[in-house]
Structure 1
Amino acid sequence: MMFCFQCEQTAGGKGCAKVGVCGKQPDVAGKQDELTCALVGLARAAQGKTPDKNTDALVMQGLFATLTNVNFDGSRIDELKSLVQTEKAKLGGVADLDSDTLWQGDPDIVSLRSTLLFGLRGMAAYAWHARALGKNDDEVTSWLYHGLRAIGEEHSVDEWLGLLMEFGQVNLKCMALLDEANTSSYGHPVPVKVPTTIEKGPFIVITGHDLHDLKQLLEQTEGKGINIYTNGEMLPAHGYPELKKYPHLKGNFGTAWHNQKKEFDGIPAPVIYTTNCLMPPLPTYSDRIFTTDAVGYPGIEHIPGDNGRKDFTPVINKALELGGWAEDKKLTGINGGSALMTGFARNTVLGVADKVIDAVKTGAIKHFFLVGGCDGARAGRNYYTEFVKKTPKDTVILTLACGKFRFNDLDIGEIGGLPRIMDMGQCNDAYSAIQVAIALAGAFNCGVNELPLTLVLSWYEQKAVSILLTLLSLGIKNIYLGPTLPAFISPNVLNVLVEKFDIKPISNPEADLEAILG
């Protein structure tokens, strides 16, 4: 028996109780709960002490491994739990949280506790990526321990809400840390058109979020006649100068994560997963799948790390063995478009802020929409495609994360030489969107909620939860959220969020646009 309600596609909109909709088996779900409770025990043992950097990394990796669609390998989860218990013993014997009580109790308390836990899981993933590039923030790391201890404590509803808002502010610092890590390592993203044609010959598809892994793969394949193609959340990598300088970083393969079984079936090339979202691979292509970092799946070859360095030789050899396609293969997005734009992060957008401000003042731009977040397979996500299609021509669409694959191949024109769709990057690049919003509010001498800006967000997993909490902690209101509301948000907690932040469930594109634009 299992229980899991952390993702948007959870069974019946209530919780997976037999097997995960994602493919997670009950034994693995149980092991992940045990790992979570062991991490609470480690956080308790660390209170009043100074854990070393290896312990910090273990906390990050342990939380990361419990995200949806990351690690399906029970033996790897057991290994992480064992390492956690060893570290806890070094710090002093303290009891773990009882896994039987993790999802039990007053529904509102369970809701608030779960929301904090899922946020912690998302932030831990961001902190892990920053750490890979040598960037750490003591406040962020300390809050992972603080938040884990809070999971095992009793709090009033008001105290839980206070913890969630405090977490949101710390997650903003974590996203800023990762932004600094990426831009100091690879430069600030610049706008670039990314082809979707796969050239003949050997190639590798790399998916996930970890730019450090991509950089190592590019270094190790240089001069070997192997082309590299991004997939999913790795698409924004093309905008970074220090990555795009590699001529064999050719373009983007496929669309969002939930299409991988169709898009990877029969592919004459290996795929390396650096993070979520991994779906249980079909037998027809499982022999060409590789995982690394926190990602794992039984029977799939894993590329280990040695102090951050990885040897991708098995992936490279598989690419040479499979050989790729004999002729160029033209792929398209879900709407038939054949080229994608990315690279409109904060540095680029703020670099043309004067044009944007003038366009608003002259009426050339009437409204901004941030349409972004996670994609998924549940029916109803075509809402976001239709929403973008129906936006007036005097509006701009900012986007980020893999939800953009619903519409990022559309050509909906330009305003003053700027494309109406601007891809700001990965989910963590919500930091860029926040900085742009703050800068625009400063330019117009108003609050962010007074800007002609509406957030229309889609969610699937726990990084989206952490970002939403950050937005709420900043006091941002009138967020449209879908395609469904989280199952872990109880009716009473939802009422509080609606009353305090005016969160709105999406309805249909026409009605929502009319409500927003009047």
Structure 2
Amino acid sequence: MFCNQCEQTAKGFACTVRGVCGKTHETDVLQDLLIYTCAGLSEVALLAEEKGVKKPEVDFFLMEAMFSTLTNVNFDPERIKDYIEKAVELRESLKKEANIQTDSPISNFKPAKSMEELIKQGEEREIEPTVFREEGEDVGSLKLTILYGLKGIAAYAYHAEKLGVRNEEVYKGFKELLVNIFKDKTSDLKTWVDRALETGRLNLLTMEALDRANTSAFGHPQPTKVSLGAKKGKAILVSGHDLKDLYELLKQTEGKGIYVYTHGEMLPAHGYPELKKFPHLAGHYGTAWQNQQKEFEVFPGPIVMTTNCLMPPKDSYKDRVFTLGPVGYPGVKHLPNEDFTPVIEMALAMEGFKEDIPGKEVMTGFARNAVLSVADKIIDLVKAGKIRHFFLVGGCDGAKPVRNYYTEFVEKVPKDCLVLTLACGKFRFFDKDLGTIEGIPRLLDMGQCNDAYSAIQVALALSQAFGVSVNELPLSLILSWYEQKAVAILLTLLYLGLKNMRLGPSMPAFLSKNVANFIAQNYNLKPITTPDEDLRSILG
């Protein structure tokens, strides 16, 4: 086993026995084999497209399959085996329809029938540094960076496609980059740096597509108060990121006397007009993903995992967990589609919350339309000296105690500064009352991790209004990362030329020393230090 794709990788190097996330050696090598098989499918799909044979279902499958290899998504070897077999089935069908003949190893891989032999094939094709020894450590590092960025793109493209929005340029570029990782042996560093930045560009297009998909289907988010308490009655908890799954569940539970609660990155769902119109969308339960084993255990109803981050469920609640789409875990019930009948039946059979539980309220829904609607006022406050600086403090959360840095940082931000936040990193401080500046809340929750697109649009709008570049704005990005969607977003920010960002709680293990130095020298990307030191450095 070798896995270094997440921030919590063992000893800051790699998980080599068992994943810190709970992933086994068997699942790890099968996921690597799936990636290899997806590269072969991509190669054949590109050849077929040259002959005029285009299959949108192949692109969607690629996104779902690659998404399943992202951290905390799918732990189930049998499900990964199914993806591998489906990839080969689609590949061979394309070959036949487009009359394609190729001697490429990745396009002719034949999976073994038995799980034992399939695992051996995975071990032979495991993605780890020695695989790239011909090209050298730095090219290998960039290949891993691109691969992990592609996993993030796959997640966002999967969500957008489910809502009927796709970007053909993204799919074509995605397949080309995935094939290059396995077939291009060039050791030219500039080529791979350019490809890493191209990954960032494709992710920007993907986030735009997802933003368009979400807002077209559910409206633009509006500032909304969300209860952290609970109502007496039957209950279902929905975690992950997929708004369409939540919408379908809300429709199917209408009039059934069941309250639906969001968890984790589903909190921003309360800001969307077409979702918050459901009166039984009752509130938000719990905090970030890493606390779910305690929070799920005491939730009195079934739990639906639409995407990451799934932790290995405890036996005390494992039978109440349902997974969807790319998510999977051995022994956990998987819903093949958005028919939530088994979830609803379980909720009706359980007692639910025995009484109302009071809780404070938090605000969400400050996406780009909401922020830009008061842009003139914000600009005037900046010019008047009443807003000194903007901080975007966001990204992934995780279990390391050092992540308390982000809580302390926000608490110490001066009162003449605004804090924008997004993704699950916000749960370090989402319930804190930071007050207002002339009626504008000092803490603005912009949404899920993909809503980095909203933050980018706000930054671009402010730069135009002030007549300066984004790097000249009184704006600092204080980022936390954990999994591969954060890698894709970081590559997007680098593609856009953003500088002086701070990243933590540690730097990615997959970056070689030379690659890390290149990023630091060209973009001034810095590791976080202490809140006091970083605030002093930024504000003077």
Same fold (TM over 0.5): yes
Secondary structure at the counterpart of residue 248 of structure 2: helix
Secondary structure at the counterpart of residue 272 of structure 1: strand
Match for residue 345 of structure 2 among 301, 306, 317:
317
Aligned match of 2:106 = 96
Counterpart code for 1:108: D
Alignment of 1:60-459 (within 5 A): 60-92=63-95, 94-96=104-106, 99-100=125-126, 102-104=128-130, 105=133, 106-152=136-182, 153-155=184-186, 156-305=188-337, 310-330=338-358, 338-459=360-481
Distance in 1 (CA, whole Å) between partners of 2:318 and 2:196 is: 40
Match for residue 58 of structure 2 among 30, 55, 59:
55
Gaps of 5+ in 2: 96-101, 108-123
Give how far 1:100 is off: 4.1
Deviations 1:306-350 (A, max 9, x none): xxxx1101111111111212112245xxxxxx2211000000001
Aligned match of 1:30 = 29
Distance in 2 (CA, whole Å) between partners of 1:157 and 1:52 is: 34
Distance in 2 (CA, whole Å) between partners of 1:110 and 1:62 is: 23
Deviations 1:124-169 (A, max 9, x none): 1100100000001100111110111121122321111000111111
Which deviates the most, 153-162 or 355-364?
153-162
Distance in 2 (CA, whole Å) between partners of 1:228 and 1:437 is: 34
Given that 2:3 and 2:128 are in contact with CA atoms closer than 8 Å, whether structure 1 keeps it comes out as: no
Distance in 1 (CA, whole Å) between partners of 2:489 and 2:31 is: 23
Aligned match of 1:335 = none
Aligned match of 2:485 = 463
Distance in 2 (CA, whole Å) between partners of 1:91 and 1:117 is: 24
Distance in 2 (CA, whole Å) between partners of 1:102 and 1:365 is: 47
1:503 aligns with 2:503: no
Counterpart code for 2:57: N
Given that 1:374 and 1:401 are in contact with CA atoms closer than 8 Å, whether structure 2 keeps it comes out as: yes
Given that 1:266 and 1:284 are in contact with CA atoms closer than 8 Å, whether structure 2 keeps it comes out as: no
Q: 1:100 to 1:312 in 2, by over 3 A?
A: closer
Counterpart code for 1:484: S
Q: 1:173 to 1:439 in 2, by over 3 A?
A: same
CA RMSD, Structure 1 to Structure 2 (Å): 1.1
Given that 2:33 and 2:126 are in contact with CA atoms closer than 8 Å, whether structure 1 keeps it comes out as: no
Distance in 1 (CA, whole Å) between partners of 2:79 and 2:525 is: 38
Q: TM-score, normalised by structure 1?
A: 0.96
Give how far 1:423 is off: 0.3
Distance in 2 (CA, whole Å) between partners of 1:327 and 1:25 is: 41
Give how far 1:258 is off: 0.1
Given that 2:222 and 2:367 are in contact with CA atoms closer than 8 Å, whether structure 1 keeps it comes out as: yes
Secondary structure at the counterpart of residue 160 of structure 2: helix
May I ask how many residue pairs the two structures share in their alignment? 507
Give how far 1:54 is off: 1.2
Secondary structure at the counterpart of residue 87 of structure 2: helix
Given that 1:189 and 1:239 are in contact with CA atoms closer than 8 Å, whether structure 2 keeps it comes out as: yes
Distance in 2 (CA, whole Å) between partners of 1:103 and 1:80 is: 25
Aligned match of 1:13 = 12
Runs of 4+ more than 4 Å apart: none
Given that 2:2 and 2:127 are in contact with CA atoms closer than 8 Å, whether structure 1 keeps it comes out as: no
Q: 1:101 to 1:318 in 2, by over 3 A?
A: closer
Percentage identity across paired residues of the two chains? 55
Aligned match of 2:120 = none
Counterpart code for 1:312: F
Distance in 2 (CA, whole Å) between partners of 1:67 and 1:460 is: 11
Counterpart code for 2:69: T
Deviations 1:390-428 (A, max 9, x none): 000000000000000000100111011011000000000
Give how far 1:41 is off: 1.1
Given that 1:276 and 1:295 are in contact with CA atoms closer than 8 Å, whether structure 2 keeps it comes out as: yes
Give how far 1:172 is off: 0.6
Give how far 1:90 is off: 2.4
Distance in 2 (CA, whole Å) between partners of 1:379 and 1:436 is: 31
